[in-house]
Structure 1
Amino acid sequence: MLKKSVAILAGLILIVTIGGLALFVSRGPVSEVFFNWTGEEEPLPQAKGVVQLLFDLTRRRVETRPYVPVAHAGLCPFGVNTFLEQEVEPEKRERTLQMVKAAGFRWIRQEFPWEDIEIHGKGDFEDRRHEPHRSAWEKYDHIVDLAEQYDLGLIVRLSNPPAWSRAAGDDMGPLAPPDDYADYGDFVYAVVSRYKGRIKYYQIWNEPNIYPEWGERPVDPMAYTELLKVGYTRAKEADPDVVIICGALASTIEVDYHPHGLNDFVFLQRMYDAGAGDYFDVLAMQGYGLWSGPTDRRMQPRVLNFSRPLYIRDIMVRNGDENKSIWLSEMNWNTVPEGFPAGAPYGQVTEEQQARYVVEAYQRIQEEWPWVGVANFWFFKRATDLEKDRPEYYFRLVEPDFTPLPVYGALKEYANQPPVMYPGYHQEDHWAVSWSGSPAGEPFDPAQDRSNVWQTVRDERAVLGAYRLAEGVGESFSFSFAGTQLDLVVVTGPEAGQLDVFVDPLELGAWSLEIAEEPTLSLDLRSDTLQFGVIEPLARGLDDGQHRVEIVHTPRTAGAVRPVGIDG
């Protein structure tokens, strides 16, 4: 009886506490602060969220290791999912990519459905579904050509097996894996071989941990790992330089295997237990915000929110995969209208909220998660409005007739801003870094693109196996960064040269060697032995804001030019 009374009293105190907090946070500035903690817009959910955050303090903290080198994390984060294969008119495919490019996206995630390429049987790449018959590759060749024309990187998803790959046809579900994984491996090999040197990033399957992506059968992390192994191996045989992304894990708390699926944490750990870590270069997951905004920092395993990548990163670190990045294959908030007949299974926000949330999501990724690479907005558009009666339709960026929604304008304004490097351990290939140089005897001209002066050198002794090398005078690189201190990772050795460092030399865009003041410091990179991954401090105690740094390769003495290597 006493225990019951104590429990009731504790519950009443909690209710009163939440109610008092709700009254307190209803005031403007406080509400904004609490939104930045909970991702909630209304006072009562904000108050509840703050209480949940307090309970989070009793849980084990996740380990993300932000200051370790991570491969494929420094790319431009702005990607978008497209359905170009569904557009009948080639002109609409091109208009799509024109608008994608104008919005500031650098990547498109595009499915190359197996069922639409190897249609009628194994090794048969002719499309005979309609007259006239034509090569099944034709449409996809056009997509690749357009992506190159508009300087957009392709992330190609390889999934959706043809019915002939299963003895039961589609009876086990049209997305079920093939009976013989070697058939899938041959398809992967065919695609990668055809586009060798043109497409670098391939994704093996999609959402293997939930229904219906594994067909009318229980999801199976061990079986998916075997499929991933086959796809990875065959892709690397066709082109050793491709980067393999595992199938995006869907966020779910389900544990029934079928008909729903398996919790993403459990599924991933069982993948690792089955040896999957050797068969992907990038880990993919979905990044939907669902029922709260991108600033929701509540860490509860059974709560699905935008902070879920922190848990996935923690699992990767515990399995020795801290040097691999996470990419978000799909990310967005749903704008299903009020009173929608099918309900709001993916959450519900206004179009204004969606526009704000997506921008804030990209900003959080860049500021807080240096181990996340590309985040792909879901999705650009559908070819028609036939799915208008389904909630999934309301993730679109533009209407089928190309009419842009508010989120398009918000992203266009945000994604076209100059890039900034935020705290973390970043590699020399980070998208915020601009590389340039001058041939001997010519004045430095920042308007000229001389990125070819810096060579990428592969060396297993370097951080993540590569570094940038300059061998002539005048080469430089620059970037904007946010933070109070800055380090540079270099290669030192008996023959190494010197770098002059200018931190905040002049206003952004006005800098040149001819008018620069004395360098903030000079780095002599000589050492008795060749060493990689050497960390050199460049700046300490800066104002907590954005800064600009210019780093120039200079001779130690007149006529004595020695090489320099940048290793991160």
Structure 2
Amino acid sequence: MRVRWLLPLVLLGLLLSLLPPTFSLYELTGEEELDGQLAGLVHWLYSAIRPQPVLAPTADIAHTDVPIFGVNTFLQNEALPEVRAEALHLAAEAGFHFVRQQFVWEDIEIHGKGDFEDRRNDLTGDGVPDPVDAWAKYDQIVDLSEAEGLELIARIGNPPSWTRALTDTIGTKAPPDNFADYADFAGAVVERYQGRIHYVQLWNEPNIYDEWGEQDANPEAYTEMLCLAYDRVKSIDPDIVVLAAAMSPTIQINGRNMNDIIYLQRMYSAGAGDCFDVLSAQGYGLFSGPTD
């Protein structure tokens, strides 16, 4: 019985030895409530004993001379143009600079390669779909943002079903079968708004289900697609600032969800370091408070 408890006690002693000599749970975790502090302590100890990523020499951080505050929007879901206008006006009045706005691939290149006409809706009630310019809604968002002095970050993702042999059965957010199709669409966005949009983000949270579809996370595949799109948009606008997809913070390693640090390490190992200008991050964390 004594031997049975010996190993847990040794491990507990080892973990406690990793703690700083003087600390408070609040200072360590940034959490004010005890349950949050205990959860944060577990994650802190896990981070202390897990293998650390392989780091290259520290590089200078670029693009630090811009305002730091922005908002995340889904203005494409607003049916009324005046609602989009009001939302952007309020963002500008609140002092925000950046607007991270989705440019939804399946909402723009809807029916096939190079087809930017929207024929999904019967607008006149005659039983026949009425074609409209699929770019029009996004043109208005760009116009309104410029009028308010806001800087757009175009988040490019959500492929249309025609880009996959399995269509939407593999997930509506699954990547295209041919990564060049994604690069072409990203290039179309940059070309249309060249000189007006200066930042693009290529995908979002590919390390978790279901942002990579009904399949396992694949950092090597994402890196391949990222690099193709990076080269394409840079060939159109060398000054465009490319943001890599933000990872979702997670400690899971179960195929569908991959620890963001591990995912990022594998991206770098696959050559992603040359394929973006800014590394995005989702700042909401796990059980770790904002002061951590």
Q: TM-score range by the shorter chain?
A: 0.7 to 0.9
Higher Cα radius of gyration: 1
Q: Contact between 2:250 and 2:286, CA under 8 Å: does it hold in 1?
A: no
- Separation of aligned partners in 1, 2:164 and 2:35: 52
1:100 maps to 91
Once the two structures are superposed, what CA deviation does each residue of 1:443-480 show, in whole Å capped at 9, x if it has no partner?
A: xxxxxxxxxxxxxxxxxxxxxxxxxxxxxxxxxxxxxx
Q: Residue 112 of structure 1 aligns to a residue in which SS? A: strand
Amino acid at match of 1:167: A
Q: Residue 244 of structure 1 aligns to a residue in which SS? A: strand
Does 2:192 correspond to 1:175? no
2:278 maps to 282
Task: Please point out which of 258, 267, 272 is paired with 1:271.
Answer: 267
- Separation of aligned partners in 1, 2:8 and 2:202: 52
Q: 1:207 to 1:49 in 2, by over 3 A?
A: closer
Per the normalisation by structure 1, the TM-score is 0.44
Displacement after TM superposition at 1:80 (Å): 1.0
1:424 maps to none
- Separation of aligned partners in 1, 2:47 and 2:138: 48
Does 2:285 correspond to 1:294? no
Q: Contact between 2:174 and 2:211, CA under 8 Å: does it hold in 1?
A: yes
- Separation of aligned partners in 2, 1:295 and 1:270: 28
- Separation of aligned partners in 1, 2:36 and 2:49: 21
Displacement after TM superposition at 1:38 (Å): 2.0
1:190 maps to 188
1:208 maps to 206
1:142 maps to 140
Alignment of 1:154-165 (within 5 A): 154-165=152-163
Displacement after TM superposition at 1:104 (Å): 1.7
Displacement after TM superposition at 1:178 (Å): 1.2
- Separation of aligned partners in 2, 1:83 and 1:48: 32
Which consecutive residues of structure 1, in runs of 5 or more, have no partner in the other structure? 18-29, 297-568
Amino acid at match of 2:62: A
Q: Contact between 1:37 and 1:295, CA under 8 Å: does it hold in 2?
A: no
1:247 maps to 245
Q: 1:70 to 1:134 in 2, by over 3 A?
A: same
1:224 maps to 222
Displacement after TM superposition at 1:166 (Å): 1.5
- Report the count of equivalent residues: 277
Q: Residue 248 of structure 1 aligns to a residue in which SS? A: strand
Q: 1:171 to 1:72 in 2, by over 3 A?
A: same
- Separation of aligned partners in 2, 1:13 and 1:268: 32
Cα RMSD of the aligned pairs, angstroms, is 3.2
- Separation of aligned partners in 1, 2:98 and 2:51: 36
Displacement after TM superposition at 1:64 (Å): 9.4
Amino acid at match of 1:115: E
Q: 1:95 to 1:283 in 2, by over 3 A?
A: same
Displacement after TM superposition at 1:262 (Å): 1.8
2:126 maps to none
In proportion to residue count, which structure has more helix?
A: 2
- Separation of aligned partners in 1, 2:286 and 2:42: 20
Displacement after TM superposition at 1:176 (Å): 1.2
Per the normalisation by structure 2, the TM-score is 0.83
- Separation of aligned partners in 2, 1:74 and 1:146: 24
- Separation of aligned partners in 2, 1:63 and 1:273: 10
Once the two structures are superposed, what CA deviation does each residue of 1:182-211 show, in whole Å capped at 9, x if it has no partner?
A: 221211111101100111110111111111
Q: 1:243 to 1:51 in 2, by over 3 A?
A: closer
Q: Residue 247 of structure 1 aligns to a residue in which SS? A: strand
Q: Contact between 1:244 and 1:281, CA under 8 Å: does it hold in 2?
A: yes
Q: 1:11 to 1:164 in 2, by over 3 A?
A: closer
Q: Contact between 1:79 and 1:105, CA under 8 Å: does it hold in 2?
A: yes
Q: Contact between 2:179 and 2:228, CA under 8 Å: does it hold in 1?
A: yes
Displacement after TM superposition at 1:35 (Å): 2.7
In proportion to residue count, which structure has more strand?
A: 1
Q: 1:293 to 1:126 in 2, by over 3 A?
A: same
2:127 maps to none
1:235 maps to 233
Alignment of 1:44-55 (within 5 A): 46=37
Higher relative contact order (CA closer than 8 Å, sequence separation 6+): 2
Q: 1:273 to 1:123 in 2, by over 3 A?
A: same
Q: Residue 231 of structure 2 aligns to a residue in which SS? A: helix
1:90 maps to 81
Displacement after TM superposition at 1:222 (Å): 1.3
Q: Residue 164 of structure 1 aligns to a residue in which SS? A: helix
Q: 1:264 to 1:290 in 2, by over 3 A?
A: closer
1:118 maps to 109
Amino acid at match of 1:75: V
